[in-house]
């Protein structure tokens, strides 16, 4: 028991910062966000450690760890996941609402259009055929195909 108490008395700012670093590295390897919250709790505990003793540090770390986990999982994680559909690295999503020019006449509602210096495969929403040189509005993106409204 004396060994455990002497180890606990050795808790200090640097021990907590080491725990923060270990948890963040583990979070990078797992990419789950579950280890992010104990890392945040350990960081707050590290800031308080120079002013308190080990019992307060352990209680603070436990309470903050559980609290951050609940709040983070319920409120922060869904917002992080909703950012996955932001269109980042999906160039075609930025074309929604843009006007494109038909470069090859449509047959059976399918053809090719140009926006800037790039040609795209496209189809019309209603299956209508568009003439070469006409203009259309991009309403959706389906993979690499643009969906147009005449």
Mean of the per-residue pLDDT values of the chain = 88
Q: Which of 9-18, 38-47, 96-105, 123-132 has the highest mean pLDDT?
A: 38-47
The CATH topology of domain 93-149 is OB fold (Dihydrolipoamide Acetyltransferase, E2P) (2.40.50)
Average pLDDT over residues 74-95: 70
Whether residue 129 is predicted with pLDDT greater than 80 in this model: the reply is yes
Q: What is the mean pLDDT of residues 3-10?
A: 79
Average confidence (pLDDT) over 115-121? 89
| C-alpha to C-alpha distance for 108 and 46, rounded to whole angstroms | 67
Cα→Cα distances 43→21, 49, 63, 76, 86, Å = 9, 10, 13, 18, 30
The pTM is what? Answer: 0.55
Where residue 99 falls among pLDDT bands split at 50, 70, 90?
very high
Residues of the chain with CATH 2.40.50.140: 93-149
* Per-residue pLDDT tens digits for 18-46: 999 999 999 999 988 889 999 999 999 99
């Amino acid at each position: 028991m004396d060994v455990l108490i002497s180890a606990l008395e050795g808790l200090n700012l640097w021990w907590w910062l080491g725990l923060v670093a270990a948890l963040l590295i583990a979070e990078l390897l797992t990419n789950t966000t579950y280890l992010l919250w104990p890392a945040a709790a350990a960081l707050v505990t590290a800031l308080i450690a120079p002013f308190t003793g080990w019992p307060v540090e352990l209680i603070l770390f436990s309470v903050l760890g559980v609290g951050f986990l609940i709040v983070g999982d319920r409120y922060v994680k869904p917002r992080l996941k909703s950012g996955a559909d932001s269109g980042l690295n999906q160039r075609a999503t930025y074309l929604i609402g843009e006007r494109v020019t038909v470069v090859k006449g449509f047959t059976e509602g399918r053809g090719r259009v140009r926006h800037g210096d790039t040609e795209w495969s496209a189809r019309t929403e209603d299956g209508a055929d568009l003439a070469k040189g006409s203009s259309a509005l991009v309403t959706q993106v389906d993979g690499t195909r643009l969906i147009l409204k005449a």
